[in-house]
Amino acid sequence: MGCPQQRAVDGGHGSSLLPVSQWPLVAEIVSHLSQNLKVPVWCKLRLVAGNKSLTHKLTALLADNGCKLVTLHARYASVTRRRQGLADLNEVKILKDVVTSIPILSNGNVRTLQDVTKNLEFTGADGIMVGEALLANPWLFEGKEADSVGIIREYLDICANVHADAFSIPSVRQHIRNFLRAK
């Protein structure tokens, strides 16, 4: 329930599942998965628009239906502005204080190793999730600066020699743009 991309919303998944009207379906999906999978069900979500307590209520609903961990990307879903502005880490902190039955991970505002520490200290979250920052700097958790040229060379070598059939030109271009963002 975190992805705000138009193709996810159009497909009826991702952040399109956040509105209260979708919660019965969400509960059914999570319950079914938790009863039928051998691995624990984890959910990632964004802030639910409207009353701030809705995010807490959705998280409790997820836990009640078998979800074992929630990651909160503390931004509202927006197709047009999904990376704009900082995540509201205070909302992660509040969620962590309100929902004590399952672990809560924090997602957002992490670009450096120091950001990881600051985020966890502020929110009290049980862990951290990092997405796109790792595309720009795969060494983020080691506290190292990214070598964009080195990353690109290694990536292209993998594309050409290891998994050539798995890569499309558009996805390779996008990955290279992410690697260049590190500078």
Q: So where are the chain's domains?
A: 6-130, 136-183
Spans of the chain below 70 pLDDT: 78-84, 182-183
SS (H, E, C) 82-94: CCCCCCCHHHHHH
Q: Which of 44, 54, 53 is nearest to 3 (CA)?
A: 44
The helix (H) or strand (E) run that includes residue 64 is helix 53-64
The dihedral formed by the CA atoms of 163, 167, 173 and 176, expressed in degrees to the nearest 10 = -30
What integer pLDDT is reported at residue 13 of this predicted model? 85
pLDDT in the model for residue 77: 80
Predicted TM-score of the model (pTM) = 0.84
The class of domain 6-130 in CATH terms is alpha beta
pLDDT in tens, 101-138: 999 999 988 988 999 999 999 999 999 999 878 888 88
Tokens of residue 27, six digits: 């509960």
pLDDT of res. 92: 96
Cβ 66 vs Cβ 30: under 8 Å: yes
Residue 80 is predicted with a pLDDT of: 53
Describe the strand order of the beta sheet including 67-76 as a list of residue ranges: 41-47, 67-76, 104-107, 127-129
* pLDDT for res 81: 52
